[in-house]
Structure 1
Amino acid sequence: MHYLDVMGLLAYFILLGYIGYRSVKKVNSSADFAVAGNKITWPILFATLAASFLGGGASMGRAGQAFDHGYAFMFAASAFPIATVLTGIFIAPKLKRYIGAHTVGDIMEQQFGRYARLITGIFSLIFCIGILGAQALAVGTVFNAIIGIDITTGILIGMGVVLLYSTIGGMWAVIQTDVVQFLMLAIFMPITLMIGINEVGGAEQLIARLPDSHFSIMGDYGPGMFLSLFIAFLLGETLVPPYTQRALAAPDSRNAKIGYTISGVFGFLFYFVSSTIGLIALILYPDISPDLAMPELIRTALPLGITGLVLASLLAVVMSTADSYLNSASVIFVKDIYQGFINPDVGEKNKLWIERLVNLLIGIGAVVFALYATSIIDALLISYSLWAPTILIPFVLGVLLDLKCSKSAIGAIIAGALVTIVWKWGPWDLSGMTGLSALVAGVSANLLTFTVIYHTFKNSRPATLITKNS
């Protein structure tokens, strides 16, 4: 890299460190660390939420899959922005009725009791670490492709910066850096696309040089595989802890609804941009690894002085998701597990310091996960199977319909988890035998179990409810 590009990259890291330093003054309580004092209006909510879910999977992962399968993967993955828009319209506003809630577990306890909170906390924590690991792997991939350092070193450098500002500044730092990262994303990803199209000779040449299958809705996927992918993205990351946390950080239902819905609409545009970048890379660099499609285009096609800024924007995309999951994981552990079941009387000051310590430890755990993950998308799909078949269905039914049968929620979570584990890691190829993915099988078992138990025990009530100040 030219020294001008290195200077642009260093300036970005210095800015993140400065934001973290300034944010320390605003973090005086656990509520500040977790939901930024519930002061996030819809324009900021839109920016931070969009920056959070458009991470390594939505950028490099989408580009890599388009490199292999064309726009078919984009069509399948568009299920996520669809789910985000629907969530913004119907669910996000209802989350604000849970006064004092910081986590999914807070809400699950109000609907289904304290043991539902504990189980939710455990699965949420594992899920967040898995997604965080995928983002850490993406950070290492960017450094490796563009600067040439090995992936392990890239992971350590990128995640070290994330750990620094998210640990000291909490949600205040995460949201402020997300806004910066969103602005960089909105500017430099389209610039990369336009330069790439020019490199292949224009849009007409791009279309002419690609196989027709790369423009079909299902590409080389069979109907079953396409449907499985669509459902995985429809359910796998819907209302996951960091996104729920964003809605809870809004001051009221109106801001939660508008911010959440607009971020989903923006997702459609970004998916098209990142997928098209993957197709451009296929023409220019047909022999590279798919996960390197976007970094390779940035490294070789962009003019001097722009490369460092675009690299920073690509890192921004990944790091904005990493910091969100990191912050959410630490808040989950402290509120849903530590305060809920280990030390209920923990003081506010001690709770804040524990959140910071856990933030650091979880980040280290995610780095270890990243070192063993085979690809960004594989890491995401494995993590998705830990959320949708367990927590999502009871959570959505509880919020939308105000259902409060604790037995149905706990039974559904356990059933969904067991079926998913057997389907995915058991001795039989159940996916091949039935045509159903582990996620679809787990979600089906979860919904069926919840329905049967609810209609059997629907008059039962949660053992305890959280209070306004919990």
Structure 2
Amino acid sequence: MTTIWIILILYMIINLGIGIYSRTKISNSSDYLLAGRRIGVLLTAGTLAATEIGGGSSVGVAAKAYGSWGLSAGWYVTSAGLGIILVSFIAPRLRRAMATTVPEIIGRRFGPSSHIVTLVLSFLANLALAGVQITASATIINVLTGLSQNVAIILSGVVLVFYTVIGGMWSVTITDIIHFIVVLVGFTIAIPFAIHSAGGWGHVVSLLPPGQLGFTKVGWKTIIGLILMYFMTFSTGQEAVQRYFAAKDERTAVWGSILCGVLMALYSFVPAILGLVALAIFPHIDPNNAVATVATKLTPSLIAGLVMAAVISCTLSAGSGDLLGAATVFVKDIYQHYFRPDMTDEQITKFSKSAVLVFGIIAIIISLGSKQIIPMLVFAFTMRSAGPFAAFIFGLTWKKSTKNAGIWSIMIGSIVGFYWEYLNEPYGIMGIVVGAVASSLSFLIVVAIEKALGHPDAPPAIPE
């Protein structure tokens, strides 16, 4: 256990050191919020992958594999990789927009009403997602130290907030590369050690419930739904889109997105296998503790330390992106847009840091109240994407879009998505998918009606 602690402490010191170093690269608000819009292909791919491989894609996938999904839980991350590859088709338009937030683009295209509704949904979703990452970190601290989950959540949140406040997007981007390498290496090399200590793969399989090794046990309907969900949430999620805004040019945004998808697919089934090993050897633990239990009980201390550092990497990357996203939306789309349009660049940077601190505290409170991972992820994805999806995509790509189509599609899609989740997703179809379909249909119907009535188009969002 001492070795594990040494590795974790050193890893945290390295990350904090990078955060402090990154402060030297921040001279304006663009540097703090968008890394100066000059990150390359590898940095774009790495920061996207590290941001999206968070608690849900590591601790959450292992928990699902431990439960009803079995090996097919790996599709949760494979689908994310495919979803972000689909985003590459609109990545040039995202970068070309020269925007800072998702609500900013929707506001340009569809006016104040659409802007206000979207910024509220985006802001709240990012806070919820930050809470999820804090919960994922807390599960590791809980297993390692025996501290209560509430205390572990507070400790995790404090580290996450401090780390994010220090360096902004530059700090996040640089450390994301380190995080992703640690995640990929740590989880992958843990598998052979864990299987060997468990008595071999044959012994593990013999202890698993029937059907747990089904590659598509979760069902194609869920797999396709996950791909659609991730395309929708990555194309409208502030923490993801902010990375495309930060790319140095359109080509970088495209290839960074494609490379990210490939990297995520390579990693996807690794945590699922660890979850299966946990189920076979430790059948009565909390599913959220599957990764930590396997690492500490079945692998050497050095490997266990890497795995624990990998999980902390996931949550640091995803959580910092979510917090920075929430702060960016609040500062740019609420405070500056509606209350202080005369803010200086220095004031924007300082206010952004204060916003990260305040929203970090709120995220800790959310984590204390929920203590869930994947259910909260899906809820947040539905919140930010079900309604705004059609307005954002059509607004970027279709000149014939109209203002009323924007606000009606956002409202109808959000209401339908939330109601579908309230009904516990009948027929196994996700609320975000149903909401986005309703959003798209209502958008097209309103455009058709407005065209028939001779109403003008909305102004273009992107320079031609």
The yes-or-no answer on 1:136 pairing with 2:134 is yes
Q: Secondary structure at the match of 1:385?
A: helix
The yes-or-no answer on 1:371 pairing with 2:368 is yes
Using the TM superposition, give the Cα deviation of residue 320 of structure 1 relative to its aligned residue in structure 2, in angstroms. 0.7
The yes-or-no answer on 1:80 pairing with 2:80 is yes
Q: String of CA shifts for 1:72-129, please: whole Å, max 9, x gaps.
A: 33335532211111112x1112212113x11112322333234333322111101101
Q: Check whether the contact 2:80–2:226 (CA below 8 A) recurs between aligned residues.
A: no
Aligned position for 2:10: 11
Q: Check whether the contact 1:143–1:150 (CA below 8 A) recurs between aligned residues.
A: no
Using the TM superposition, give the Cα deviation of residue 435 of structure 1 relative to its aligned residue in structure 2, in angstroms. 6.1
Q: Secondary structure at the match of 1:214?
A: coil
The yes-or-no answer on 1:251 pairing with 2:257 is no
TM-score normalised by the chain length of structure 2: 0.92
The yes-or-no answer on 1:444 pairing with 2:437 is yes
The within-5 A match list for 1:16-165 is 16-68=15-67, 69-75=69-75, 78-88=78-88, 90-99=89-98, 101-165=99-163
Q: String of CA shifts for 1:217-269, please: whole Å, max 9, x gaps.
A: 442x5776666556444534444111111011111111111111111111112
Q: Check whether the contact 1:78–1:271 (CA below 8 A) recurs between aligned residues.
A: yes
What CA distance in whole angstroms lies between the structure 2 residues aligned with 1:252 and 1:466?
A: 14
Percent sequence identity is: 28
Using the TM superposition, give the Cα deviation of residue 54 of structure 1 relative to its aligned residue in structure 2, in angstroms. 0.4
What CA distance in whole angstroms lies between the structure 1 residues aligned with 2:209 and 2:148?
A: 33
The yes-or-no answer on 1:193 pairing with 2:191 is yes
Runs of at least 5 residues in structure 2 that lack an aligned partner in the other structure: none
Aligned position for 1:385: 382
The within-5 A match list for 1:299-310 is 299-310=296-307
Greater CA deviation, 444-453 or 225-234?
225-234
Q: Secondary structure at the match of 2:118?
A: helix
What CA distance in whole angstroms lies between the structure 2 residues aligned with 1:191 and 1:77?
A: 19
The within-5 A match list for 1:277-296 is 277-296=274-293
Name the CA shift for 1:466/1:27 in 2 (closer, same or farther; >3 Å).
Answer: farther
Aligned position for 1:215: 213
Q: String of CA shifts for 1:283-305, please: whole Å, max 9, x gaps.
A: 12111111111111111112134
What CA distance in whole angstroms lies between the structure 2 residues aligned with 1:341 and 1:449?
A: 28
Aligned position for 1:456: 449
Q: String of CA shifts for 1:190-210, please: whole Å, max 9, x gaps.
A: 111221122234444444543
What CA distance in whole angstroms lies between the structure 1 residues aligned with 2:240 and 2:405?
A: 25
Q: Check whether the contact 2:73–2:269 (CA below 8 A) recurs between aligned residues.
A: no
Q: Check whether the contact 2:55–2:133 (CA below 8 A) recurs between aligned residues.
A: yes
Name the CA shift for 1:380/1:387 in 2 (closer, same or farther; >3 Å).
Answer: same
Q: Secondary structure at the match of 1:96?
A: helix
Q: Check whether the contact 2:97–2:461 (CA below 8 A) recurs between aligned residues.
A: no
Q: Check whether the contact 1:404–1:460 (CA below 8 A) recurs between aligned residues.
A: no
Q: Check whether the contact 2:97–2:463 (CA below 8 A) recurs between aligned residues.
A: no
What CA distance in whole angstroms lies between the structure 2 residues aligned with 1:60 and 1:228?
A: 21
Q: Secondary structure at the match of 2:305?
A: helix
Greater CA deviation, 359-368 or 450-459?
450-459
The within-5 A match list for 1:337-348 is 337-348=334-345
